[in-house]
Amino acid sequence: MKTLCKAMTKLIILGALAAAPLYAQIPNGLTFTTSFPFYVGNQYMPAGSYIVTEPLANSDWLLVRDADYTRSAYIGYIPTETLTPANQGEVTFHEYGDVAFLASLTVTGDTSGMEVLPRKHEKQTALAEHQLASNNSVPLEAVRAGN
């Protein structure tokens, strides 16, 4: 039992350290613009400009809202890690026919990112379209302090 407790403690600490870089990467938010509508989970978002923030420090939740503050959605994510920093930050969408879903975010200069797991609506759309998702990406930029 002691060995199991020690192993669990080490795993929790390692997991927290691995995810720590994600918490520092979006202090002021991230922005992107799409020319197509998309879904954040089950929430429909029309084409336009968006800002992504982490509403609670040290959480695995993101708030995606439009520039006009008229539409917003919370979405959980899983931290990801790459070997080399991203040359250009991007938001990736899974597309099934003409329906797109937010899938992942990477930040310029960071090795960490965020992956959004498919939710019920995306899974249903994939089944209805009888196809695998294609990917579409748009640039993602950090909001500078004071903007």
Q: Domain range for residue 34?
A: 2-142
147 within a domain of the structure (yes/no): no
In sequence order, the 6+-apart residues with CB closer than 8 A to the CB of 140 are 30, 31, 32, 52, 89, 90, 91, 105, 106, 107, 108
- Count of domains observed in the chain: 1
What pLDDT, on a 0 to 100 scale, did the predictor assign at position 128?
A: 87
Residue 45 located in a structural domain: yes
Determine, yes or no, domain membership for 32: yes
What pLDDT score was predicted for residue 58?
Answer: 73
Query: Has residue 98 been placed in a domain?
Result: yes
Each residue's pLDDT tens digit, 92-147: 999 998 999 999 999 999 998 999 988 999 999 888 877 778 898 998 888 865 54
102 inside domain: yes
